[in-house]
Chain A
């Protein structure tokens, strides 16, 4: 079983000899301010110890990481600390040590194609009245709109999917969805540590994309976008986040605004769009193009944007560190101080965490969380 030993060797797999223990990762890690999870020490242990020893006793703590990749961005030697976190989670999963909520999410993604335990044949219910092409049913379209599990099933995120559909239709984009045949991209499953499940989902998705001849995909979620773009092997399609497409549509005059949105708006960079994929300008271009919007930046923006803690599997993990406050709450407090009316988001996870934070901070009267696509819709 030589291959297995190599697979389990963190040093080789994550090139850990590059780590000089400088601590820049922990220094920038937003979670380290609230959780005892110390990413530098974790990488050190992963280097010195056998993977199962490194994982020992970490079942609770390891869930705190949001895999925002701030540490990866700051590492001077190209080490990826968040990948070490994922590796340790993988060891724990093989040992059966995971919260029940995580187990259910993984099982549901495996059997039902979404991590929420929802019925596959209700996935496209949100689009029932929208007259959208269904490529899996044989409709032909230039582009696949890949909706995402969150936007398919969560009522608030469904609004985002609906508004993206309306924006694309208004601009005359020829697109379709996969309807009930859409399957989870696996991004969150991978970050929960279930690499095998991610590979399985990716293979199934690739097979479906190839069968249907899909060459161009646009996504709701930066998480699906990142997975399809960077983690699907042998992808032979172009993938865009919807903000990239919409920004182009505006620049090429295919999308014209007729109304004004007279609000003070800031933008919260999603980690998986900004930090991890350097898509900073397109969302801002859209917001700046909408008549009436007074755009202001967060102090912590672009690469330094504060993670909302919605990703990296955090959706299914209750972190004890939340007793010390949530980063999403810090974010909306900052926004309140800036006097903005709206925090624009471009990710379903950010939408949900920030909306919860607005309620927790009792700022409902002052601040609204809206997806960029919803603001575009208001101005059409």
Chain B
């Protein structure tokens, strides 16, 4: 029977959410293709993970090797290319994450298998797989198909694009251990360490109220305006990626996939357009208010309330009005 591979992603002893999101979506695609869903797990001492994944897939195959302890795209590529060449899955799904992007494109080239990255939709049309990719700053969806002669495909799946099922579908798949094809350590690319970006004095994940600023703040000199607003609200200041790139605020203040995921009671998004990487880090907040110049900014599609306007004009007045109402 045809197979779909979903590569399980884990780090520091935790299976990452994108794995379950892919398994949830992979089950649907497998049904449409009349294929079995196989979870593929690489690592060192990962048998427990394999047991955990068996209710999510028709089969779990795992490769346990101390040389796979920490993620190394070179080692992973060798193992996966061997597995895929042997088992010929019709579709291989990998997370469009820092891990997946380091691995999948080179793997696809090695296998001469067409790859579509950063997919937010996977469709089966007449037995062929097609994907939806979200491009041009999130403003366009592109439906794409694969090279006509292809019979196997690879996709990387955007994190948070598909909901993870609440619970395992109870597929009760068999767990199969496969011997590692790695014979020696990779010496030209070595994993050294994980490092947490320096922890700041403020933990934005613990705050009930976040005043989060984006590129629209315009200048580091305007950050105090946001701080004053946060102060009257009893919250703290967070930000989107461009603000950290410009070094206006330190990395620990960043909300989004490459920063912190936050769920405050109130998230005030000021001058943040709402790239998906940012939305993924804050859309679970209880109440979201967005202020942005662009009425079509994606942030308005996750916000409860919105104001189209210049944050430099809105922020100071809002601070005054709140102070007034507090009495």
Contacts and interface: CB of A to CB of B under 8 A. Distances in A.
Contact between A and B in the complex (any CB pair below 8 Å) = yes
Interface of A: 100-101, 155, 318, 359
Contacts of A359: 316
Contacts of B310: 155
A101 B218 contact: yes
B309 A155 contact: yes
Nearest to B220: A100
6 contacts: A100-B219, A100-B220, A155-B309, A155-B310, A318-B219, A318-B221
A101 B223 CA distance: 14
B265 interface: no
B235 to A, nearest CB: 24
A238 to B, nearest CB: 35
Contacts of A101: 218-219
Contacts of A100: 219-220, 246
A100 B217 CA distance: 13
Contacts of A318: 219, 221
Contacts of B219: 100-101, 318
A359 B319 CA distance: 14
A369 to B, nearest CB: 14
Main secondary structure of the interface of A (DSSP, over half): helix
A359 B309 CA distance: 18
Interface string B217-230: 01111000000000
Given A100-B219, A100-B246, A101-B218, 7 more contacts: A100-B220, A101-B219, A155-B309, A155-B310, A318-B219, A318-B221, A359-B316
B240 to A, nearest CB: 15
A193 B215 CA distance: 25
B74 to A, nearest CB: 38
Contacts, number: 10
**Sorted from nearest, which 10 A-B pairs have the closest CB atoms?**
A318-B221, A101-B219, A100-B246, A155-B310, A318-B219, A101-B218, A155-B309, A100-B219, A100-B220, A359-B316
Contacts of A155: 309-310
A125 to B, nearest CB: 10
A101 B218 CA distance: 8
A354 to B, nearest CB: 15
A360 to B, nearest CB: 10
B63 to A, nearest CB: 48
Contacts of B309: 155
Nearest to B246: A100
A101 B222 CA distance: 12
A129 to B, nearest CB: 15
Interface in B204-259: 218-221, 246
A100 B243 CA distance: 12
A122 B280 CA distance: 28
A101 B248 CA distance: 12
Contacts of B221: 318
B34 to A, nearest CB: 47
Nearest to B248: A100
Nearest to B216: A117
A101 B309 CA distance: 20
B221 to A, nearest CB: 5
Nearest to A154: B310
A359 B246 CA distance: 30
Interface string B295-311: 00000000000000110
Interface in B254-299: none
A237 B316 CA distance: 44
A172 to B, nearest CB: 34
Nearest to B215: A117
A307 B2 CA distance: 77
A365 to B, nearest CB: 14
A101 B221 CA distance: 10
A318 B316 CA distance: 18
Contacts of B316: 359
A376 B266 CA distance: 45
Nearest to B317: A359
Contacts of B246: 100
A23 B306 CA distance: 54
Interface string B306-326: 000110000010000000000
A258 B29 CA distance: 72
A151 B108 CA distance: 51
Nearest to A101: B219
B310 to A, nearest CB: 7
A155 B309 CA distance: 8
Nearest to A100: B246
A100 B245 CA distance: 12
A340 to B, nearest CB: 24
A359 B316 CA distance: 10
Interface in B4-53: none
A307 to B, nearest CB: 21
A252 B19 CA distance: 76
A283 B9 CA distance: 70
Nearest to A316: B219
Contacts of B218: 101
Nearest to B316: A359
A77 to B, nearest CB: 38
A305 B220 CA distance: 32
Nearest to B312: A356
A359 B220 CA distance: 22
A318 B246 CA distance: 17
A359 to B, nearest CB: 8
Nearest to A116: B218
A73 B105 CA distance: 65
Nearest to B320: A359
Nearest to A318: B221
B216 to A, nearest CB: 10
Q: Give the residue among B219, B221, B246, B309 with the most A Cβ atoms within 10 A.
A: B219
A87 B108 CA distance: 55
Nearest to A117: B215
Nearest to A355: B313
